[in-house]
Amino acid sequence: MKKIVAKEVRYIKLGRRGGCWEDLALAKGELHFGYGGATHELALQGDSDKIKEHLISLGRYVQAAARDAREVQDFYQLGGDCLWVTFAKDHLWWAFAEPEVTWCGGGGALHGERIRKTIGGWRNTDIKGAPLRIESLGTRLTKVAAYRRTICKIEAQDYLLRRINGVPEPIVIRGAQARNALIDVLKDAIKSLHWHDFETLVDIMFAKSGWHRVSTLGGTQKTVDLELEQVTTNERAAVQVKSSASQKTVNDYVQRVDEASRFDRFFFICCSPNGGLKTSGDRDDVYIWDGKEIAPATLFISLPP
């Protein structure tokens, strides 16, 4: 899809939450609107003052009549280039609509008293196909769902258009760049650690992840440097820590762990591998980590000076 551009954006509440208007509007690709007190003929004239005076004559308070008139005028006067959005079924939905308004009447029991057809139907994904789930949207946008009336402007229009166009937020991009820069620094810092300090770092990293060490750290153990236990899942893991290693070393330790027959997982951790290290076959119980996996896992670890 082409990039979505809109000078005018409006939120519209498609009837009561979970009501028939909402389901009907989304299914048929329509905008449903009520305010039956303002006649179709009067609304077509586009004179908000006349609509307001008419509603006052029907018993509406002045301020309420003014707001009603403004919403009626928006529904009738905003053209096909106005972007309409609503919240329903845990998603943000958006559409453009044909300018023509059809009067349906009926008192609003089963459908809106006036309807506009959308251009291409309602969509609840961005232009790249990613779902626009409410939980993934900022409250500066979703707060509009608490609007008690029917149609209103949206303050976070720029944010809305970025989300619909699948454009990352500038602050998110800056944050990712800063995080990546920090990870690059951590990779270099990890490579400079003494082997004993590197083992200590790995031990703390697993402890922060919920693993409990059930062996001594390093030393002259025959099989691996660390034996870990995950209490919640009753899993046991073996960890071998190396400053540098070749593929032959990896294969040797995988064989040792397999022969031990008491571990559910094996982690081979090396900050400066000699070439690309990999597992043989489709082993999903063997993990080989180098700096690119270790550095992000140590972002929030505080070590004593």
Are residues 287 and 237 located together in one domain of the fold? yes
**Model confidence, pTM:** 0.69
At residue 167 the predicted structure's pLDDT band, cuts being 50, 70 and 90, is: very high
CA distance 59 to 68: 13
Are residues 152 and 288 located together in one domain of the fold? no
pLDDT (mean) for 203-207 = 90
User: What local confidence, expressed as pLDDT, does residue 224 receive?
Assistant: 86
Whether 3 is in a domain gets the answer: no
Domain count, the chain: 2
Q: Are 179 and 297 in contact (CB under 8 A)?
A: no
CA distance 184 to 294: 11
CA distance 35 to 47: 15
> What average pLDDT is seen over the chain?
89
Whether 83 is in a domain gets the answer: yes
* CATH assignment of the domain containing 131: 3.10.590
- Give the HSE-up count for residue 215: Cα atoms under 13 Å, Cβ half-sphere: 19
Are residues 40 and 118 located together in one domain of the fold? yes
The b/e string for 174-204 (b: 16+ C-beta within 10 A; e otherwise) is eeeeeeeeebeebbeebeeeeeeebbbbbbe
Who contacts 125 (Cβ-Cβ below 8 Å, separation ≥6)? 131, 132
Who contacts 99 (Cβ-Cβ below 8 Å, separation ≥6)? 79, 80, 116
Q: Are strands 91-96 and 83-88 parallel, antiparallel or unpaired?
A: antiparallel
At residue 220 the predicted structure's pLDDT band, cuts being 50, 70 and 90, is: very low
Give the domain extent around 266: 182-297
Above pLDDT 70, what percent of the chain?
95
Question: What backbone torsions phi and psi does residue 11 show, to the nearest 5 degrees?
Answer: -90, 135
pLDDT (mean) for 65-81 = 94
Who contacts 226 (Cβ-Cβ below 8 Å, separation ≥6)? 202, 203, 206, 213, 215, 217, 238, 239, 240, 241
Are residues 97 and 162 located together in one domain of the fold? yes
Most confidently modeled of 36-40, 123-127, 227-231? 123-127
Greatest alpha-carbon pair distance for the chain in Å reads 93
User: What local confidence, expressed as pLDDT, does residue 16 receive?
Assistant: 60
CA distance 48 to 294: 64
Whether 304 is in a domain gets the answer: no
Q: Residue 223 above 80 pLDDT?
A: no
User: What local confidence, expressed as pLDDT, does residue 297 receive?
Assistant: 85
Are residues 14 and 129 located together in one domain of the fold? yes
CA distance 244 to 259: 23
* CATH assignment of the domain containing 227: 3.40.1350
Whether 223 is in a domain gets the answer: yes
> Could you report the per-residue pLDDT of 244-264, keeping only the tens digit for each?
999 999 999 999 999 999 999
pLDDT (mean) for 55-84 = 94
At residue 17 the predicted structure's pLDDT band, cuts being 50, 70 and 90, is: low
> Could you report the per-residue pLDDT of 170-182, keeping only the tens digit for each?
888 999 899 899 9
User: What local confidence, expressed as pLDDT, does residue 222 receive?
Assistant: 64
